[in-house]
Amino acid sequence: MSAKGFLFIHLFLLFALYARAQVTIGLGSSPEEGALLQLKQNDGKGANATKGLLLPRVSLTDLNNLFPMFTDNGSGGYNEGVKADLDISHAGLVVFNVNTSNCSMRPGIYAWDGTEWLSLSKNVEPDDISDYSFDRTRDSLALVGFFLATYGGAWTDKSGWLGSNPITEWKGVTCVERCVNGKVEAAVTGIHLENNNVRGQLPQSLKNLVNLRQLSLPLGQLQGSLPTWLSELTKLQVLDLRSNQFTGNIPSALGSLSDLVVLDLQDNQLSGAIPTELGRLPKLNYLSLAYNIQLTGAIPSELSSLTNMRFLDLQYCSLQGSIPTTFSSFTGLVSIMLSGNQLSGDIPANLLSVTISDFCPQYLQGSSMVNANPWTNYSCPP
């Protein structure tokens, strides 16, 4: 194409642009009335394209300056012009930040509002960060104590532990993070190491993890008694120690964990009676003490206070007596499993609506329940 031809086409496009004042890219039709610029591949009212707008990827370095669009003059301004004027004139500028070195400006989409960059991406910090206590030294030492006490060197997977990586990258450790002066601070909120050859005894250093919401160490070889200091983990929501080798009584102090939602201690070697204090856990949704064949005594009627209970598993213990009639408060119960005990008496009528139950005669080994299958609307398997 000649230079004259190229110039003609260029001038024609410029004229068309200014004449219409509204532009569509990707299709020859007009944009929507309220849009100066519209990207579309068809005029559909729903999806009108199979591709998107790829924003420029920029490494933002300062929340309150248009860097690297302009350069720093060393006096709080820009070399390219008056900072105040340029800041205002660029309001609405949108980019995708790729800088990962400044946690106050995490990677994502940002828009300049005339004074600062506003993140349009999801906030990764919790809504109420004030509910967490941040102390890197305290949390690190607690984890190191746990690692050493449970023979961490022999764990199946110990990725990241005791190395130079931050605790956020230690296998099985979950954290909440906040950004302070451009640096990330982390607080440990969970430990989840399933089937990881965790053995020994739980060290007291764990109680220093004051933000701990989840302690899940199932399918391990942990031994000894359940420590009473677990009750000092006041934020705990999930305590999962199933399939270990714990012995002794269930600490009554666990009844003070008011935020606990899941308590799973099944398949250990626990003994004695079920503490009545477990009936003080207002948020408890799941309780399993199954396969602790040395658990004895009656099912505490105090458990009927657990109005949020959905799953109750007490099968294959050595429980005696009858099912408390006060279980009528379990209005939301989905599953109750009591087989393999020495229960007697009637099944409370209020449990007839439970969806999944182990009340059928063939599941009540060792029990002498009266009216073991009183339902007319429930069929036991043959």
Q: How far apart are CA 64 and CA 90, in angstroms?
A: 13
Is the per-residue pLDDT at 355 higher than 80?
A: no
Shared domain check, 201 and 101:
no
State residue 132's pLDDT score. Answer: 92
Is the per-residue pLDDT at 165 higher than 60?
A: yes
Q: Quickly list DSSP for 195-238.
A: SS--EE---GGGGG-TT--EEE--SSEEEEEPPGGGGG-TT--E
Closest by alpha carbon to 54, among 96, 84, 23?
96
Shared domain check, 314 and 337:
yes
State residue 100's pLDDT score. Answer: 77
Of 56, 88, 119, the residue at which a domain comes to its end is 119
**Is 377 a domain residue?**
no
State residue 122's pLDDT score. Answer: 63
Residue 60 and residue 110 in contact, taking contact as beta carbons nearer than 8 Å? yes
Tell me the pLDDT band of 313, cut-offs 50, 70 and 90: very high
Shared domain check, 326 and 193:
yes
**Is 181 a domain residue?**
yes
**Is 237 a domain residue?**
yes
Shared domain check, 134 and 94:
no
Tell me the pLDDT band of 352, cut-offs 50, 70 and 90: low
State residue 64's pLDDT score. Answer: 92
State residue 111's pLDDT score. Answer: 93
What is the average per-residue pLDDT within 249-256? Answer: 98
The CATH number assigned to the domain holding 325 equals 3.80.10.10
- For the chain, the average pLDDT equals 84
Tell me the pLDDT band of 356, cut-offs 50, 70 and 90: very low
Q: How far apart are CA 161 and CA 33, in angstroms?
A: 59
**Is 259 a domain residue?**
yes
Shared domain check, 326 and 182:
yes
Shared domain check, 111 and 147:
no
State residue 163's pLDDT score. Answer: 87
Residue predicted with more confidence, 15 or 287:
287
Tell me the pLDDT band of 381, cut-offs 50, 70 and 90: very low
Shared domain check, 109 and 174:
no
pLDDT digits (tens, 9 = 90+) for 86-121: 999 999 999 999 987 777 788 889 999 999 999 887
State residue 210's pLDDT score. Answer: 97
Shared domain check, 228 and 91:
no
Is the per-residue pLDDT at 370 higher than 50?
A: no
Q: Is the peptide bond before 56 cis (omega within 30 degrees of 0)?
A: no
Residue predicted with more confidence, 350 or 357:
350
Closest by alpha carbon to 172, among 161, 185, 187?
161
**Is 379 a domain residue?**
no
**Is 187 a domain residue?**
yes
In the chain, the number of structural domains is 2
State residue 367's pLDDT score. Answer: 47
Is the per-residue pLDDT at 4 higher than 60?
A: no
Instruction: Write 374-380 long-range contacts (CB < 8 A, 24+).
Output: 374/346, 374/347, 374/349, 377/352, 378/352
Shared domain check, 254 and 112:
no
pLDDT digits (tens, 9 = 90+) for 178-222: 888 777 889 999 999 999 999 999 999 999 999 999 999 999 999
State residue 378's pLDDT score. Answer: 34
Shared domain check, 143 and 89:
no
**Is 381 a domain residue?**
no
State residue 202's pLDDT score. Answer: 98
Q: Return the number of other C-beta atoms located less than 10 Å from residue 241's C-beta.
A: 22
Of 97, 119, 141, the residue at which a domain comes to its end is 119
pLDDT digits (tens, 9 = 90+) for 10-61: 544 554 545 456 777 777 777 777 877 778 888 877 888 888 889 999 999 8
Of the listed ranges 11-25, 63-77, 79-93, 125-139, the least confidently predicted one is 11-25
Residues of the domain holding 361: 129-370
| Burial class (CB within 10 angstroms; exposed 0-12, middle 13-18, buried 19+) of 17 | exposed
Shared domain check, 366 and 308:
yes
Shared domain check, 162 and 52:
no
State residue 123's pLDDT score. Answer: 52
Q: How far apart are CA 103 and CA 107, in angstroms?
A: 9
**Is 378 a domain residue?**
no
State residue 39's pLDDT score. Answer: 82
Is the per-residue pLDDT at 365 higher than 80?
A: no
Is the per-residue pLDDT at 332 higher than 60?
A: yes
State residue 42's pLDDT score. Answer: 85
What is the average per-residue pLDDT within 68-76? Answer: 91
Is the per-residue pLDDT at 272 higher than 70?
A: yes
Of 85, 119, 153, the residue at which a domain comes to its end is 119
Tell me the pLDDT band of 277, cut-offs 50, 70 and 90: very high
